[in-house]
Structure 1
Amino acid sequence: MKSKLWFIILAVLTASAVIFLSKTPEPSPEIPESGVYFPENSADKTQMYTKFNPNDLNAEQWQVLGFSEKQTATILKYKNMVGGTFVSKEQFKKCYAVSDEKYAELESYILLPETASSPNYSQNRPFYSPVSAKSKINISEKFNPDQYTQQQWENVGFSEKQAAAILKYKNYLGGSFISKEKFRECFVIGDEQYKALAPYLLLPEYQPENATEKTRIIKQESAKSHTIFDPNELDAEGWKALGFSEKQAAVIINYKNRNLKGKFSTLEDIQKCFVISPEKFEELKPFIVLNTESLNNTAVATPKISPKASATNFSKTDINELTYQQLLEFGFDGKAAGSFIGFRKKLGGFVDKNQVFEVFDIDRSLAEKLASISPLNPSLVEKHTLTDAPESWLKTHPYFRYSADKIIYYRISNPDEKKIWKFIKTKPEYERKMRMYLKD
């Protein structure tokens, strides 16, 4: 009887131990600071997240979250463009490398306020203000943001990086903010900053139909309209004709008279004037002629050609090697010759004789005659691919500069040229011209 009782007790104890062990939870896997871990024995490596601040992640941690190396580079570059910190989920979501699906997956784990104007959040993290050191917007008169320089945006109250980001965003749109609606979408401009700026913006409320394409066409025609000029001969109207505002023209003239004793002596003198942006200077540079007595008496008028100078054999002189003097010799006037040289220089050389007809203000009959006589060897013309073309080349080349920022933006996470063409959505005629300067 005793042995039977002990057997029953032993059986009960054994059963209890089995039940206890079966209910004991396995140790929870350690979640790294990156905000994501993969269960060790998971076949599909399903992602499991914990809360994280995107400002704390390095490149490796972004990749652990499921982003590719290229996407990670885009995120980090975007972060620098917005001032070095993400200030809200709304801002983070605007990053091109973060798809809607991926954002929805991460949203509940992100330690940021919904918007930049949300109440300060507390997760052992500081709240980041969109404009840190210069939070107050200083503006007292209406202005066109398309004409503002880096320094002027800094004077308004934005940091150096934020001012640069605003200009990059403008270039991304094609060189114009177009409307208040599009201006508001700039990711470094918070709600409070926009409210302070909105009453002073000389922009329509909403984007007109086909505004982007119209802006592109206007700027292309403007670029073609530049002819050779002496900056020392220009008055306020002359500078305005080159695309400067009335105030900017006054600043340029005042700068020349006060700082340079009434004369630009070098290209560097022009470049140093703060209202002439680096992009505008590069646009004008090929057409600038200094130290001439008068454009009307020299550059425009066709000078007398000596017998020695008229001995050019145009049938053996490559179109890409023709000099300004030789073009005058052929019969072109000073404006046309200057435009020819300037346009060819910006292209890096002609690759097709038909490009000669694109030169602004050129005599069509003379151009056709030149094209029929002179040879053209395009083998020395600089060419690149969309993925490896230098940023400076893209931004200054006549055929690429209006799509340059888009190309630079998209190729970071999409190094496939076919995808880049799809994203930039340029017209067939523009694409045809661009492909002339791309490697096969």
Structure 2
Amino acid sequence: MLQVNFIRQNVDFVKERLAVKHFSQISLVDELLLLDERRRKLQFEKDEIQAKVNAASKEIGGLMREGKKEAAELLKAEVGTLKASMEDVSELNNVESAIHNILVQIPNLPSTQVPVGRTPEDNVVVRTGGNMPVLPAGAKPHWDLVQQYGLIDFELGNKITGSGFPVYKNKGAKLQRALIQYFLDFNTAAGYMEIQPPLMVNEASAYGTGQLPDKEGQMYHATIDNFYLIPTSEVPVTNIYRDEIIKESDLPVKMTAYTPCFRREAGSYGKDVRGLNRLHQFDKVEIVQLVHPDTSYDMLDSMVAHVEKLIRSLELPYRILRLCGGDMGFTSAITYDFEVYSAAQEKWLEVSSVSNFEAYQTNRMKIRFKDGNGKPQLVHSLNGSSMALPRILAALLENNQVEGGIRLPKILHSYFGAEKI
């Protein structure tokens, strides 16, 4: 959530950056400023009344000491009237509520590094890596391979729950477990503390990371308890530090977590959702950092390098994209997407996003540190997928199919217990 003072002091800049994100309700900025002007006027009037009450209360004490009880009683009555007017703060509360309701509708400002553009076609390829595989004749897409080798049963998942909830079986389940363990080991070796968080969060947690109110329709909602199934472990992990002040010496805070993730994916259909390409439940390992604001972009670069090294270890062809303003998420200031090439499908599949949210999330969650002067300041939050499993698994299966099976990248041999399926 943006801060009102920043918006008031940088109106033209805020509007220009929101236009880069193709935000359609820039007029909300003007509405916000009018409300803030009214709020400040009401607050000034309240403070003036409080000053008069304080002065009168002090004077009453003096009159009582001088034995001027009648004058003191008259002044007490005046103070009572002033307090009554001050206690009627309904308009101030209404204005503050209206300001908050507008603030949560305004997305984060894109960094000046973000490319101008509206659609995924306007994203900028930062770099590519890995070697494109040469598949044997008759190569199959992953949805046929998993059936051939008995790795995943999509129909069984549909029977038990519904479309988008696959059942991993035999070596398919083993490979999932191997990937999860490898990703966690890779992250903890880089200094990330492993967390095992809850899979459901309350409304305050979903609001804190920006899922509410922006993505309410995309989350599964347990209505009786008002809990939300997590769309990513970023939500519970970042909220660990909600309403806390972190020691500056403890920054950066680096955390990693494996969880299943749940997304309704309303409106998704067609060939792009076939097989593992888009699921309602999937496994993902996440990395989260809470950092000093002066270092957040250096930390972003280190997280991008970390994820790139992980993908390279899986021997997959990949590319890194810097997302344009129109293709970015609501809460992000800048996002890098990682895609791997799926040879059998002949398409790029997104497998990770690494984002810097600057102070947008931490302002909502009030995650702060004290600077050298002892003044509380907001930390910056960053997160990235390290990695999301479904499309990684799809690319591993498709790109590595050989006669008589599927070979696995060398790094997974010890985790899986074999070189080949």
After TM superposition, the score normalised by the length of structure 1 is 0.22
In proportion to residue count, which structure has more helix?
1
Q: State the TM-score, normalizing by the size of structure 2.
A: 0.23
- Rg larger in 1 or in 2? 1
More strand by share: 2
| Higher RCO structure, 1 or 2 (CA under 8 Å, sep 6+) | 2
